[in-house]
Amino acid sequence: MATASPLPKPMSQLSRAVSEWVDSVRELTQPDDVRWCEGTKAERDGLTAELVRSGELLRLDAKEFPDCHLYRSDPADVARVEHLTYICTRSKEDAGPNNNWMDPQAARAKMRELFRGSMRGRTLYVIPYCMGPVDSPLARCGVEITDSAYVAINMLIMTRAGRPALERIAREGTFVRGLHSTGELDPNRRFIMHFPEELAIESFGSGYGGNALLGKKCHALRIASWQARSEGWLAEHMLIVGLRSPRGETHYIAAAFPSACGKTNLAMLIPPESMPGWEVCTVGDDIAWLHPGPDGRLWAINPEAGYFGVVPGTNPETNRNAYNMIRRETLFTNVALTADNRPWWEGLSGGTPVTDWQGRPYDPANGPAAHPNSRFTVSARRNPSCSPLVDDPRGVPISAIVFGGRRREVAPLVYEARDWAHGVLVGASVASETTAAAVGQVGVVRRDPMAMQPFCGYNFADYWRHWLAVGAKLSRPPRIFHVNWFRRDSHNKFLWPGYGENLRVLAWMLERCSGRAAALDGGIGLLPRPEDLNTRGMTLEPQTLRALLAVDVPLWRKEIAETRAYLEQYGERLPAQMIEQLDKTAGALGR
């Protein structure tokens, strides 16, 4: 006779370290109830149903958008708050000029007072999660405690959360402790604190993505970048995409762009019809963990399991994969609604918004109908171009690293670094026009090295040194490129069509990686000649292509002087190689 299998152990008994931490948080925050998340679909559906009943979530038209919901945030809580985000290391220099710093003891004391009793009348959710495939040696675990069911649902979509993660934590012993409470959403009582030396995060007073889904930017970038330095790898703000050429060769590219610069679109790119035979598969759209492999190559995993993407602009022309992906099982935040309860956003050709993102009758005088930083949360499995290797514990080998910014001028469409060390300088020199993903003025150029300005958990000078050290360990390092899809003409018109056509630029990179494509030394690095780019089937005037590939030497001299002034802020800690590389570029351009 078959014996009944024993009941699984309650989650609260799997790891003593986690349970003790939960008990201490419970004592401090005084929730009415504690719930451990198992990570099942039934559990997520149950949580969703509860929020529909309480009115926090709105069910969308079940015919066109089955299992889709709308969440409206507080109107003053719609983006990351970089000015309230801190790195709390014992030494201020370890955080560096690139971070806000607070003494860890002072920060802990401040947060203790905010968290005291903050969960009264609320439920405390315990979410064990694994960043990366649960059986991957490259993955790392954490536990988020939150009093927001909306945050819990997001984390259940965005990470591999629940029992298997907690079982790994119980085996390994180490995990990142992330404590989050929504508080009263008072911007004066809002802080996102990181304690990299203790692998801990404390976030209070915001329910928005990057501030509250602690597995994402807080853990997978700020804390992980610190862990990565001590363990010899890199945690980067990069998408990972696989490209199979008509020759049948597959290459993986990791690409860093600032928030809301099209990473999700590039990761899910649809080849133009005039480029038959190309296939694209998505490994990740936002974060890459890169490890030197035993074969001397760089191997990447996507620590996330879902996408938290920008909604406006998504349509069948810009990103058909994303457009199809977000038609079911998707959680929308801060989009507008049509009369028949369908989500609506700027950039959709059909439908009419009747209710704006704040739930008011739509009036163009109030600004866009959907918030410019409105988001979708969706499982990566919903992506039609999702790579079969997303769960591969070894990750994928990276052939090319791409840095990019949003620049009206200066940066050409594409150029290649001379070598890894030059590539580190190219990455460190990234500057970009700001977007709506962070609170503050939109459209001003700011320095954003490796697109990590808001996300590097330690001093950039040490980070660049670490990048140089990782490169020195690789016998087959990826080639490093810089792209700019956003260059404009004197009438402020974009010169390059972007989206699927970006494949033409990626194709040149892959030809470079295979040693087949030529390049010209343009002083700033290596550029394709106009005839090296495949422009067959697109309408691009020859003079436009020349303008896209032009290096404006006087502007570049100014750019180099600004980069020098920026790097010099890092003083003694700045690796000498960075200035050597800059001098080399300045020399190549003629002083």
Name the residues annotated as catalytic: 261
Please report how close the Cβ of residue 80 comes to ligand SAT at its closest, in angstroms: 5
Q: Considering only 182-190, 209-217, 243-251, 474-482, which stretch makes contact with ligand SAT by CB under 6 A?
A: 209-217
Binders in 64-93 for ligand SAT, by CB under 6 A: 80
Q: Say how many residues touch ligand SAT, by CB under 6 A.
A: 8
Q: Using an 8 Å Cβ cutoff, are 220 and 303 in contact?
A: yes
What are phi and psi for residue 356, nearest 5 degrees? -85, 180
By CB under 5 A, what part of segment 267-326 binds Mn ion? 286
Quickly tell me which residue has 């609320």 as its tokens: 122
Out of 216, 229, 251, 407, point to the residue binding ligand SAT (CB under 6 A).
Answer: 216
Q: Looking at 247-255, 257-265, 413-421, 573-581, which segment touches Mn ion (CB under 5 A)? A: 257-265
Q: Which stretch binds ligand SAT (CB under 6 A): 115-123, 143-151, 210-218, 323-331?
A: 210-218
| Smaller CB separation from ligand SAT, 271 or 306 | 306
Tell me: does residue 259 bind ligand SAT (CB under 6 A). yes
Question: How far from 231 is each of 156, 227, 492, CA to CA, in Å?
Answer: 27, 6, 45
The nearer residue to ligand SAT, 210 or 404, going by C-beta atoms, is 210
Paired strand residues for 337: 343, 355
Q: To the nearest whole angstrom, how small is the minimum distance from the Cβ of residue 261 to ligand SAT?
A: 9
Residue whose tokens read 């404590």: 179
CB of 341 to ligand SAT, least distance (A): 26
Q: Which of 128, 142, 205, 209 binds ligand SAT (CB under 6 A)?
A: 209
Q: Does 259 bind Mn ion (CB under 5 A)?
A: yes
Q: Is 453 in the site for Mn ion (CB under 5 A)?
A: no
Partner whose binding site includes residue 329, from Mn ion, ligand SAT, none (CB under 5 to 8 Å by kind): none
| Backbone phi, psi, residue 352, to 5° | -130, 130
Q: Which stretch binds Mn ion (CB under 5 A): 75-83, 256-264, 347-355, 499-507?
A: 256-264
By beta-carbon proximity to Mn ion, the closer residue of 216 and 482 is: 216
> Nearest distance from residue 79's CB to ligand SAT, in Å?
7
β 123-131/33-36 pair status:
parallel
Beta bridge partners of 310: 375
Q: State the Cα–Cα distance between residues 225 and 234, nearest whole angstrom.
A: 6
Q: Which helix (H) or strand (E) holds 288?
A: strand 288-292
According to CB under 6 A, which one of 125, 204, 299, 308 is a site residue for ligand SAT? Answer: 308
398, 297 contact by CB (below 8 A): yes
Task: Give 136-155 as a 3 state SS string.
Answer: CCCCEEEEEEECCHHHHHHH
Residue entry with tokens 């040696």 = 137
332 binds ligand SAT (CB under 6 A): no
**H-helix or E-strand containing 466?**
helix 460-473
Q: What is the spatial distance between Cα 523 and Cα 521, in angstroms, rounded to a whole number? A: 6
- Pairing mode, strands 176-181 and 140-146: parallel
Q: DSSP labels for 513-576?
A: HTT----EE-SSSEE--GGGS--TTS---HHHHHHHT---HHHHHHHHHHHHHHHHTTGGGS-H
Q: Which residues pair with residue 251 across a beta bridge?
A: 243
In the complex with Mn ion, the residue whose CB is nearer, 261 or 369, is 261
Q: Residues 515 to 544: which contact ligand SAT by CB under 6 A?
A: none
Q: Choose the contact partner of 308 out of Mn ion, ligand SAT, none; CB within 5 to 8 A by kind.
A: ligand SAT
- Interaction residues for ligand SAT, span 386-445 (CB under 6 A): 437
Closer residue to ligand SAT in complex, CB, 221/533: 221
Task: Return residues touching ligand SAT (CB under 6 A).
Answer: 80, 209-210, 216-217, 259, 308, 437
Task: Return residues touching Mn ion (CB under 5 A).
Answer: 259, 286
